[in-house]
């Protein structure tokens, strides 16, 4: 079964536009879980452009499904995650000023750093995942870091899906198979949508979790959160 973790960054983006608490990220998380979301993902960035540190602490007691915190493991991020103890931390190598995440880890270059950070999280009982481009060569270095899972960075798939989906999925299928050989779990995310999710999920049988925010929250403007979550769950269903 592939879990649907809903990324609520965009709820916070809208909330921050006015500085109050409308819409509330906490209420959105509670409702999303009632509507069937199997996890809540957030990506607190150092500039707090959407999710703030306060949101992280406010959400902790209300996430009854799987809490997944994403981010670049600078010391303040590491300490906050160790204190919150979510079920999963996803490490993303994004620059502070990047508009959004735009690359996976070079695990060969950052091997020592990743090994240390991952062992810190694992000692605290937090499952780790690392953001990875669909690159076969990188998987063995990812495994050497000691991470439990990888998260396939799906922007390229999403971009090329409508032009040639068979070609777009190839590197993801290969990387997911290689990850399985090394005993790594496979998550995926970035720009997945109602349009492109089913094909991705059908082609990658060992897909454990997808985290989806931008498209899902946008689609919910027209369909409502409950219908949208249900539509995503249908795309992931294997029966």
Ligand X SMILES: NCC(=O)COP(=O)(O)O
Question: Smallest distance from the beta carbon of 98 to ligand X, in angstroms?
Answer: 13
Q: What is the largest CA-CA distance in the chain?
A: 48
191 is in an annotated binding site: yes
Q: Specify the residue for token string 């795309």.
A: 235
Question: Smallest distance from the beta carbon of 43 to ligand DXP, in angstroms?
Answer: 4
| By CB under 6 A, residue 187 contacts ligand DXP | no
190 belongs to the catalytic site: yes
Contact 56, 8 (CB under 8 A): no
Contact 128, 89 (CB under 8 A): yes
State the CB neighbour count (10 A cutoff) for residue 71: 23
For ligand DXP, give the closer residue by CB, 70 or 133.
Answer: 70
Instruction: Look at residue 206 and give its three-state secondary structure.
Output: coil
| By CB under 6 A, residue 130 contacts ligand DXP | no
212 binds, among ligand DXP, ligand X, none (CB under 5 to 8 A by kind): ligand X
Give the separation between CA 4 and CA 97, rounded to whole angstroms.
Answer: 28
7 is in an annotated binding site: yes
| By CB under 6 A, residue 190 contacts ligand X | yes
Question: Smallest distance from the beta carbon of 189 to ligand DXP, in angstroms?
Answer: 5
Instruction: Look at residue 3 and give its three-state secondary structure.
Output: strand
| By CB under 6 A, residue 191 contacts ligand X | yes
Q: Specify the residue for token string 């960035």.
A: 45
How big is the CA angle at 175 (ends 205 and 143), to the nearest 5 degrees?
Answer: 105
List, as own/partner pairs, every contact residues 180-183 make where C-beta atoms lie below 8 angstroms and the sequence separation is at least 24, other chains included. Answer: 180/206, 181/139, 182/139, 182/140, 182/142, 182/143, 183/143
- Select from 9, 72, 175, 196 the one that contacts ligand DXP (CB under 6 A): 9
| By CB under 6 A, residue 189 contacts ligand DXP | yes
Site for ligand DXP in 39-98 (CB under 6 A): 43, 70, 92
- Element housing 161 (H / E): none
Contact 149, 187 (CB under 8 A): yes
8 binds, among ligand DXP, ligand X, none (CB under 5 to 8 A by kind): none
110 belongs to the catalytic site: no
Among candidate residues 191, 203, 198, 205, the one with its CA nearest the CA of residue 160: 191
70 belongs to the catalytic site: yes
235 is in an annotated binding site: no
Number of chain residues interacting with ligand DXP (CB under 6 A): 11
Annotated binding site for 3-amino-2-oxopropyl phosphate: 7, 18, 191, 213-214
Residue numbers at the binding site for ligand X (CB under 6 A): 7, 41, 70, 151, 189-192, 211-215
Task: Give the active site residues.
Answer: 43, 70, 190
Residue numbers at the binding site for ligand DXP (CB under 6 A): 7, 9, 43, 70, 92, 100-101, 131, 189-190, 213
């Amino acid at each position: 079964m592939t879990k649907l973790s809903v990324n609520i960054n965009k709820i916070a983006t809208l909330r921050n536009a006015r500085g109050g608490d409308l819409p509330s990220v906490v209420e959105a998380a509670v409702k999303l879980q009632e509507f069937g979301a199997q996890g809540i993902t957030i990506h607190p960035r150092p500039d707090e452009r959407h999710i703030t540190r306060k949101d992280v602490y406010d959400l902790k007691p209300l996430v009854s499904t799987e809490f997944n915190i994403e981010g670049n493991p600078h010391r303040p991020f590491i300490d906050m995650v160790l204190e919150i103890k979510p079920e999963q931390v996803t490490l993303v190598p994004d620059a502070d000023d990047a508009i959004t995440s735009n690359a996976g880890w070079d695990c060969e270059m950052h091997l020592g750093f990743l090994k240390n950070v991952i062992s810190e999280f694992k000692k605290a009982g937090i499952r780790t995942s690392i953001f990875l481009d669909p690159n076969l060569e990188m998987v063995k270095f990812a495994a050497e870091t000691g991470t439990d899972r990888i998260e396939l960075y799906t922007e390229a798939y999403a971009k090329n899906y409508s032009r040639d989906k068979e070609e777009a999925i190839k590197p993801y299928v290969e990387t997911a198979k290689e990850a399985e050989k090394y005993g790594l779990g496979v998550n995926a995310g970035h720009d997945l949508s109602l349009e492109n999710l089913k094909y991705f999920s059908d082609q990658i049988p060992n897909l454990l979790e997808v985290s989806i925010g931008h498209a899902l929250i946008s689609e919910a403007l027209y369909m409502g959160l409950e219908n949208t979550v249900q539509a995503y769950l249908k795309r992931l269903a294997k029966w």
